[in-house]
Amino acid sequence: MYLIIAIASYLLNAGVYVADKFLLSKKVHSSIVYAFYVGIWSIGNFVLLFIDPFIPNWTQFAYDISAGLLFLFTLVFWYKALHQSEATRVVPIVGALTPVFSFLFSFVFLGATLSLREGVAFIVLIAGGLLISIKRTRAHMIGEVVERFKTIWGNALGGINAELRPTRRLLINSIISAACFAAYYVFIKYIYSHAGQPFIGAFVWSRLGSFIGVLAILLIPKWRRLIRDSKTTENRTPGQLIFFLAVRLAAAIAFIMLNWAVSLSSNVALINALQGTQYAFLLFIVVVLSRKYPKIIAEEIGSGVMMQKLIGIVMIGLGLYLLVL
């Protein structure tokens, strides 16, 4: 059941990403502003309590608020990494590291383990997702990557070339972002499974934590000015605004579904590893739409690149097959 819900969530997220290409700027101007607008919508989740009313005790409330604050903190580093580079560089790094951190945190804090079959599926899913998400790979580039890694990180105690400092900051923020995403999902899994709360109740009250974090952001004058000066709806027609709100609603539904899958799964790391299915859906949508809207949506579709991505799709299919055996 959790596989179907997670895959449906990633399919919806792929559609949201493509829709964003039509309406939203892909250049993140402020990680604080983006985190603010994501967090401010969190309060809307309280309508779900009409479906399943629930009031947590003080311990449960503390867990829920902490989870929400952690998620908002994670978004700040996520958008900071996106601000420093293109999504095509950041997404593969975070997408590959989040399942790894999730497995480590789940093992340490939840005692979760993977069977041999699940472990193989875990590795295959991550590898397939990487092949789809990165633009291209060539064998002769491996040496260049290794040398660049040594150049950036080799002299840990000394200075580095100023030209490479942005790359180092990108890697640091991406790694922190991946670790925080993993920590959030492992923490929320603990809340869903061990804190004695129903799914809807725990989810809604954790969103309150993100909303409280947003209010804390407004207490900082510099951040408050950034938010006040931002223009997120500039030059949009009424039809575009309706479409924008529909996309944000779809994104919220996808997030709820992903949390539901986490609550049902036996291991958070497997849910995160399934993110490769999102890349596969995204590839299909982009390839189809790029022919009709080449100025808005573009995808490198040379024969070598497509072969690489097709191999990635096959690997994801193999990983899913191993999970449902």
* For residue 28, pLDDT beyond 60: no
- What is the distance between the alpha carbons of residues 244 and 250, in angstroms, rounded to a whole number? 10
Q: Residue 213 and residue 228: Cα distance in Å, rounded?
A: 17
pLDDT at 189 over 70: yes
For range 92-106, the mean pLDDT: 87
Q: How far is CA 257 from the centre of its chain?
A: 14
Q: Binning pLDDT at 50, 70 and 90, where does residue 225 land?
A: confident
Q: What is the pLDDT of residues 279-324, one digit of tens each?
A: 788 777 777 776 776 655 555 555 567 788 788 888 888 888 888 7
CA gap 205, 64 in Å, rounded: 6
Alpha helices in the chain (DSSP H): 2-23, 31-40, 58-84, 87-105, 116-133, 141-153, 165-194, 199-217, 221-229, 238-264, 268-273, 275-290, 303-324
pLDDT single digits (tens) 140-185: 444 544 554 454 445 544 444 444 445 667 778 788 888 999 999 9
pLDDT tens digits along 208-221: 999 999 888 888 88
- State the Cα–Cα distance between residues 249 and 231, nearest whole angstrom: 20
pTM of the model: 0.80
Mean pLDDT to the nearest integer, 65-80: 88
pLDDT in tens, 227-239: 887 755 455 567 7
Average pLDDT over residues 116-133: 86
Length of the chain (residues): 325
| pLDDT at residue 240, rounded to an integer | 65
In this model, does residue 8 exceed pLDDT 90? yes
| DSSP secondary structure string for all residues of 221-237 | HHHHHHHHH--TTTT--
DSSP 127-195: HHHHHHHSS---TTHHHHHHHHHHHHHS-SSS---GGGHHHHHHHHHHHHHHHHHHHHHHHHHHHHHHS
More confident residue, 210 or 131: 210
Q: For 237-289, how does the pLDDT look when each residue is reduced to its tens digit (9 = 90+)?
A: 677 678 777 877 888 899 999 999 999 988 898 898 888 888 788 777 777 77
Q: What is the pLDDT of residue 210?
A: 92
pLDDT exceeds 50 at position 117: yes
Provide the pLDDT for residue 223. 84
